[in-house]
Amino acid sequence: MSLKTITGSIPVYRADHSLYAHVSGERLERLQSVGLVARVVCSRNGDIKRAILHGQPGEPGPTPAGAYLGTRYVVKERLDSGPQCWRFKAVDRRDEDGSVFDGRAVFLQVVQECLVP
């Protein structure tokens, strides 16, 4: 390893960003030598801050950023400049006019219409 001398405990994370273990510098070098480490995160001065392992078969992948933002739906929006465009709107928010936009009701209506033969 061509980085600074590793001292102390280094956190190692799984591919889904959950903590796997705290390891010594020697152990981290062994994990890298067998190809288990996907990425090592270092500070500007070269100190190792954490390591992230490769995903293993059967393990969940990283949580997408959208999972933290909540449910979003795509709706058509009429623009002053002309044609309609698609835009993501959060459910139960206010639209450009200030009126409440209830996306859940519209979404559920579309789903019910699709389920009826």
Predicted structure pTM score = 0.50
Q: Which residues pair with 63 in a beta bridge?
A: none
Percentage above 70 pLDDT, the chain: 61
62 located within any domain: no
pLDDT digits (tens, 9 = 90+) for 30-87: 999 999 999 999 999 989 999 999 988 887 777 666 665 655 555 555 666 665 555 5
Contact 73, 86 (CB under 8 A): no
The answer to the question of residue 59 being in a domain is: no
What are the DSSP calls for 58-80, one per residue? TS--PPPTHHHH--EEEEEEEET
CA 106 – CA 50 distance, rounded (Å): 45
Instruction: Please determine, for residue 88, whether its predicted confidence score (pLDDT) is greater than 60.
Output: no
Q: How far is CA 73 from CA 64, 84, 112, in A?
A: 16, 16, 16
**Both 74 and 110 in a single domain?**
yes
- Count of structural domains within the chain: 2
